[in-house]
Structure 1
Amino acid sequence: MRLISKPVLCNYYVTYRCNATCGFCDIWEKPSPYVTPEAVEQNMRDLKKLGVKVIDFTGGEPLLHREMDTLLRIAKKYGMITTLTTNALLYPKWAERLKGLIDMLHFSLDSPDKAEHDTLRGVACFDFVLESIEKAKALGERPDIIFTVFNHNIHLIKRMYEEICLPNNLILILNPSFEYNQVEVGTGLQKKELDILSYWAKQKNIYINEAFIQLRLDGGNHTADPVCKAASSTLVISPENKLVLPCYHLGTDSFQIENNLFDLYHSKEVRAIIAQEGKLDACEGCTINCYMQPSFAVEINKYWFKAMPSTLKYSREKGTWKQLFR
């Protein structure tokens, strides 16, 4: 049963450019412009009309955008819950300008060992994460640590939790790795690793959407009975100011917005693509977290029940649930 028919999230790519070269991501390889505040202002009006509540300013590295604070202020003006994930290389320079503008601030950290994390990211950013934690705390912010879990670093969760998160009273977000396009992430997480994630999901100050675990146990999205609601629950806007469908990672179609996102979203062409969400050949076996998380929230099924406890746990600790009822 569908609970919410409107989109709830916008993944807003402010640029594809990045100052890291992660081996499990190919976004940084793309040439890219930067979004303009004028386009963001216009799109934010339409996103609010469409029912969107959460704006994820993403990239690339979003802090490469020299007007990132302006973009966040625009989103807050329209009552949006804001989220931003950064590799932290630039956060110390940005910290004061971003104060109070990001509801869910995530610092990427994939190992408690400096050399290993920097190798994974292709750039020396470990020390910047530690500096960013101190900067954020001094400003009264409470960032999260987002840990991308592979089978080769899953054994480091305990150290990350005990050495980085607990001493700083930070939430550790466990983000299971996923494959897409031709990007290799190594051997996929198997039941042994998924059982480990289930154990950590029950610990204080650790968040993982347990529906992610169930979906992987079930072999991912299945086109015959899709759980994915990527195109109807999430809007993707590119740095070129295009609406990308059915999701960023598949991106089979894109439409120039031209200051008319609301009407574009309801156009015959876009609705036809939305109707195929989760049913395309490339959707078989998909486990991409970015689109599954909102998919689990808009329709009552077994994944909705699996997702609810962890979602409530996180929103209670962060206080974001209060903003949904403003």
Structure 2
Amino acid sequence: MRLRTKPVLCNYYVTYRCNAKCGFCDIWERPSPYVTEKEVEENMKALKKLGVKVVDFTGGEPLLHRDLDKLLGIAKKYGMITTVTTNAMLYPKYAERLKGKIDMLHFSLDAATAEDHDTSRGVKCFDLVQQSVGKAKALGEKVDILYTVTPENIGDIQQVYEEFCLPNKWLLILNPVFDYNEVGENNFDKEAFSELRRWAKKPWVYLNGGFLKLREDGGNHIDDPICKAASTTLVISPQNELVLPCYHLGTKSFPIQNNLDTLYHSDEVQAVVKQEGKLPECEGCVINCYMQPSFAVEMNKYFWAALPSTIKYNWLKGTWKQLNLS
């Protein structure tokens, strides 16, 4: 049973540029412009009209956009819940300007030691994450630690949890790595699944139970798709294009030209939307970015698997007060 037909989330790529070279991501390899304030203003008007509640300013590395604070201000003006995930390398420089403008601020941290984290990210950034933690604490910001879990680093979760999350009462978001475009991996064994389920029950830990259930079921299946990427999530590129059915597949891009609402409802776009989860490339997909909103809009076994963690996160962050999905 479909609970909501309007899109709820916008993944707004402010640039594809990145100052890291993570082994589980290839976005940093792409040339890219930066979005403009004028584009964001026009698109926020349309997103509000379309029913979008959450805007994720993403990249690449979103803090490479020097006016990110202004973009966040525009989004807040239109009543959006805002989220930013950063490798934290530039956070100390921009922290004061960003204060209070991000509802869900995530610092990426993938290991308990500088050597392992810096190897994962392809640059030296562990010390900057630590500096950013101190800066955020001083400003009273409630940060989430986003931990991309791989079979290799699952043993480091405990130390990161104890050193970064528990002392600050910050959420540890466990994000199982996914594969796409010959990047990443998805080879968790039964023991790893059991370990992740154990972590999901701990205080100040968020792990979407739907992610694990979907992986155990072999991912999205095109004959009965769980993925609702194109109808739940609008993807806007740095070139000011609507990317469909999702960023990672991105089979079609449509120039927005200050007309996002009309474009989204056009026959050409809706024809692509109707193919969400059904394309040959969608078979076996477990990309978390799009499965999370997919689980939230249709009442099925994944909805129920995801519900406890969703309630937990929104209760601890206080975002449930803003997240009216009617």
The bucket for the TM-score relative to the shorter chain is over 0.9
Q: 1:300 maps to which residue?
A: 299
Residues 106-161 of structure 1: CA deviation (Å, up to 9, x unaligned): 00000011110001101111011111111111111010000000000011111111
Q: 2:72 maps to which residue?
A: 72
Q: 1:173 maps to which residue?
A: 173
CA distance in 2, matches of 1:9, 1:19: 26
What letter corresponds to residue 39 of structure 1 in structure 2?
A: E
Superposed displacement of residue 325, structure 1: 4.1
Superposed displacement of residue 187, structure 1: 5.4
Q: 2:153 maps to which residue?
A: 153
Partner secondary structure for residue 324 of structure 1: coil
Q: 2:58 maps to which residue?
A: 58
Q: 1:279 maps to which residue?
A: 278
Identity %: 68
1:123 matched to 2:119: no
Q: What's the TM-score, normalizing by structure 2?
A: 0.98
Residues 156-181 of structure 1: CA deviation (Å, up to 9, x unaligned): 11111112211222110000000001
Residues 21-65 of structure 1: CA deviation (Å, up to 9, x unaligned): 111100000000000000000000000000000000000000000
Structure 2 residue ranges without an equivalent (≥5) = none
What letter corresponds to residue 255 of structure 2 in structure 1?
A: Q
What letter corresponds to residue 43 of structure 1 in structure 2?
A: N
CA distance in 2, matches of 1:210, 1:323: 23
Structure 1 residue ranges without an equivalent (≥5) = none
Superposed displacement of residue 249, structure 1: 0.2
Q: What's the TM-score, normalizing by structure 1?
A: 0.98
What letter corresponds to residue 18 of structure 1 in structure 2?
A: C
CA distance in 1, matches of 2:103, 2:238: 22
**Contact 1:110–1:117 at 8 Å: present in 2 too?**
yes
CA distance in 1, matches of 2:228, 2:19: 31
CA distance in 1, matches of 2:156, 2:195: 11
Q: 2:90 maps to which residue?
A: 90
CA distance in 2, matches of 1:44, 1:190: 42
**Contact 1:112–1:164 at 8 Å: present in 2 too?**
no
Q: 1:266 maps to which residue?
A: 265
Partner secondary structure for residue 323 of structure 2: helix
Residues 69-107 of structure 1: CA deviation (Å, up to 9, x unaligned): 000000000000000000000000110000000000000
CA distance in 1, matches of 2:144, 2:80: 19
What letter corresponds to residue 95 of structure 1 in structure 2?
A: A
Alignment of 1:1-326 (within 5 A): 1-183=1-183, 185-186=184-185, 188-325=187-324
**Contact 1:191–1:217 at 8 Å: present in 2 too?**
no
Residues 294-319 of structure 1: CA deviation (Å, up to 9, x unaligned): 00001000000011110000000000
CA distance in 2, matches of 1:239, 1:194: 36
Structure 1: 4+ residue segments shifted above 6 A: none
CA distance in 2, matches of 1:105, 1:190: 31
**Contact 2:177–2:185 at 8 Å: present in 1 too?**
no
